[in-house]
């Protein structure tokens, strides 16, 4: 492994400014690591020539003293973000061959600030999945393996490629998206840091839509500081996105290392679910002690409607997906299956282009929006969503943040849960509430389980209070002192 690929984003930026190495050298090291790690299937497109060209421009900016906040830093982009001139498929056959003529706002912000694009990262199809097994490009393999087994493990989803690339040191950091936990759950399963910001903090313009009222972009990174650095560049108001918040972007890295003494942190009793592994319960208890030692006051709180979050989410998200994915009809871009009639073109194209999980969710969404069921399912789910948001509003009157586990298990084997959609959906049990309420939350690696696999802790904050979330996450990161890395079995 190159010493350059082992750097954090913050360390790489410091080294670039100190002229200890160039962006070209840093980028070459990461491209070599990507080539060696192809068994992980983390990348769907490698933009080698583009990366080296961008690195050359970055070195020129550094030499001229015109560097931006990310100048020279090689990163990966989830395949859900439209990138001008680079294929963007959302992990689906139906977008095969689609090359956008425009750049998403988030990626445009990153290039403005000097980041270097290494390529597009694999993901569950249209971000629908918790294991990265629904991708048309094949599953991503988690860099982590149990010392007792060579079983291929899931990196989580839908941002599995982003999480695997960060964990394996293929990128300094990566963009991701979170609709029901798709940043935080993969972070937990790969020993990385995943930040889902407040809904509207990052523009959704140019991000392929899954569920528009839930989708939010965010960073996957090696450290809390790195996540704060990347989110600062990703964020900002965008008039092209009607849900983008006209809020000033704070200096997120300034909150990392800030004292958390005196903060009140809630521990929701509803997150103690039946069948939760004892190791996760123990890590949660350690997290409470770590925050107490940092000067926080711990308060048990109640979020009474938590039990209804998963059922509400799996009505609302498919309903929005059904509407959003109606545009993929074989007429304008992507896959087109020729057939005798227009209706048959639609039917054949969508049947061939969408994978099983996407078809399942589109059918569920269409059903709950249909006449006779709209009130019984969709409107009722919206009312539950409001109650869940109200629970958080009530709790945040007395506490500054919440501490919970991130995921109900460590990484699981590929194929173990794919035959049971309900078992797969339960991976999101601790994360979907945050999306339904539009709040910021972060996953921080806290420990290894008995099988040697990472487990994460989640900090949930008030809307637009990512600063407190970063401060508490940094305190947990410091106390946990998580330094474990996966063995590099893929290069043998």
Helix (H) or strand (E) holding 461: strand 454-461
N- to C-terminal Cα separation, the chain: 12
Catalytic residue among 92, 131, 135, 158: 158
Report helix angle 466-480 to 278-293, nearest 10.
110
E strands, 37-172, in order? 43-46, 74-78, 116-121
Q: Which residues neighbour 57 within 8 Å (Cβ) at sequence distance 6 or greater?
A: none
3-state secondary structure of 130: coil
Dist CA 403 CA 288 (whole Å): 8
CB 468 within 8 A of CB 400: yes
The burial of 356, by beta-carbon neighbours within 10 Å (0-12 exposed, 13-18 middle, 19 or more buried), is given as exposed
Give the pair of three-digit tokens for residue 354: 């969408």
CB 1 within 8 A of CB 168: no
CB 179 within 8 A of CB 127: yes
395-398: which pairs have CB atoms within 8 A and are 24 or more residues apart? Answer: 395/266, 395/268, 395/301, 395/302, 395/303, 396/462, 398/264, 398/266, 398/299, 398/301
Give the pair of three-digit tokens for residue 167: 């964990």
Dist CA 162 CA 177 (whole Å): 10
Neighbours of 170 (CB within 10 A): 28
Neighbours of 284 (CB within 10 A): 21
CB 399 within 8 A of CB 265: yes
Catalytic residue among 23, 28, 78, 88: 78
Catalytic residue among 154, 182, 418, 471: 182
For tokens 């082992």, name the residue.
Answer: 6
Give the pair of three-digit tokens for residue 444: 């921080």
Residue 182 annotated to the active site: yes
Residue 158 annotated to the active site: yes
Dist CA 437 CA 387 (whole Å): 9
Q: Which residues neighbour 125 within 8 Å (Cβ) at sequence distance 6 or greater?
A: 90, 91, 92, 134, 135, 136, 354, 355, 357, 358
Dist CA 98 CA 41 (whole Å): 20
Residues annotated as catalytic are 78, 158, 182
């Amino acid at each position: 492994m190159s010493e350059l690929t082992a750097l954090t984003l913050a360390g790489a930026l410091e080294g670039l400014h100190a002229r200890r190495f160039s962006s070209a050298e840093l980028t070459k090291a990461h491209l070599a690591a990507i080539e060696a790690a192809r068994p992980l299937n983390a990348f769907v497109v490698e933009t080698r020539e583009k990366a080296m060209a961008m690195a050359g421009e970055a070195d020129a900016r550094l030499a001229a003293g015109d560097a931006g906040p990310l100048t020279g830093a090689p990163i990966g982009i989830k395949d859900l973000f439209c990138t001008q001139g680079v294929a963007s498929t959302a992990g689906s056959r139906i977008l095969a061959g689609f090359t956008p003529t425009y750049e998403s706002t988030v990626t445009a912000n990153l290039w403005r600030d000097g980041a270097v694009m290494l390529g597009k990262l694999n993901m569950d199809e249209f971000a629908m999945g918790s294991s990265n097994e629904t991708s048309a490009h094949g599953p991503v393999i988690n860099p982590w393996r149990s010392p007792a087994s060579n079983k291929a493990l899931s990196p989580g989803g839908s941002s599995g490629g982003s999480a695997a690339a960060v964990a394996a040191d293929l990128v300094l950091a990566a963009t991701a998206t979170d609709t029901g936990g798709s940043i935080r759950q993969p972070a937990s399963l790969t020993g990385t840091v995943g930040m889902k910001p407040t809904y509207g903090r990052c523009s959704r313009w140019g991000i392929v839509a899954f569920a528009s009222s839930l989708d939010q972009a965010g960073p996957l990174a090696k450290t809390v500081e790195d996540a704060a650095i990347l989110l600062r560049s990703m964020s900002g108001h965008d008039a092209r996105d009607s849900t983008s918040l006209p809020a000033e972007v704070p200096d997120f890295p300034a909150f990392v290392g800030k004292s958390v003494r005196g903060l009140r942190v809630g521990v929701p009793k509803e997150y103690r679910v039946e069948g939760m592994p004892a190791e996760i319960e123990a890590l949660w208890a350690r997290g409470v002690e770590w925050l107490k030692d940092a000067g926080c006051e711990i308060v048990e709180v109640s979020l009474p409607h938590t039990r209804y979050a998963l059922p509400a989410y799996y009505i609302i998200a498919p309903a929005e997906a059904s509407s959003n994915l109606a545009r993929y009809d074989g007429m304008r871009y992507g896959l087109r299956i020729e057939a005798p009639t227009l209706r048959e073109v639609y039917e054949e194209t969508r049947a061939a282009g969408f994978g099983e999980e996407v078809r399942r969710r589109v059918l569920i969404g269409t059903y709950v929006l249909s006449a006779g069921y709209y009130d019984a399912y969709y409107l009722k789910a919206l009312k539950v969503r409001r109650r869940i948001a109200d629970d958080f509003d009530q709790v945040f009157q007395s506490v500054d943040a919440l501490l919970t586990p991130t995921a109900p298990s460590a990484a699981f084997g590929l194929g173990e849960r794919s035959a049971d959609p309900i078992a797969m959906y339960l991976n999101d049990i601790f994360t979907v509430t945050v999306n339904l309420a539009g709040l910021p939350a972060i996953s921080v690696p806290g420990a290894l389980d008995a099988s040697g696999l990472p487990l994460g802790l989640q900090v949930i904050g008030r809307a637009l209070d990512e600063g407190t979330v970063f401060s508490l996450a940094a305190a947990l990161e410091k106390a946990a002192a998580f330094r474990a890395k996966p063995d590099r079995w893929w290069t043998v």
